[in-house]
Structure 1
């Protein structure tokens, strides 16, 4: 059991030792997000649905 714990500790120490390098870091260019154009057409869908439901209720 002691050997297993020692092996796990040595593996963890070795993996962190090789994690970095002396190479220059690669910097990714910033992502520019364009805002979605807000349009008034988004309001028409719920209004049409309400009108259809109102017409169905009024017809009964």
Structure 2
């Protein structure tokens, strides 16, 4: 059992040691996503909440 664990540890160490290469690493540029929003979208949620509160007050 000890030989099996030792063999597995050596195999894992050997595979990580040989994983590197001499090639230049490829660095990807960050992607910037610009979201287009209209000016009315900022007021939409407060108006919806106001309507819901008004409906709740009117029904009670």
For the criterion TM > 0.5, the same-fold answer is yes
Distance 1:30 1:56, change over 3 A: closer
Which contiguous aligned blocks of 4+ residues in structure 1 show a shift greater than 6 angstroms?
Answer: none
Name the count of aligned residue pairs.
Answer: 60
The gaps in structure 1 that reach 5 residues or longer are: none
The gaps in structure 2 that reach 5 residues or longer are: none
Q: What is the TM-score normalised by the length of structure 1?
A: 0.62
Give the C-alpha shift of residue 22 in structure 1.
0.7
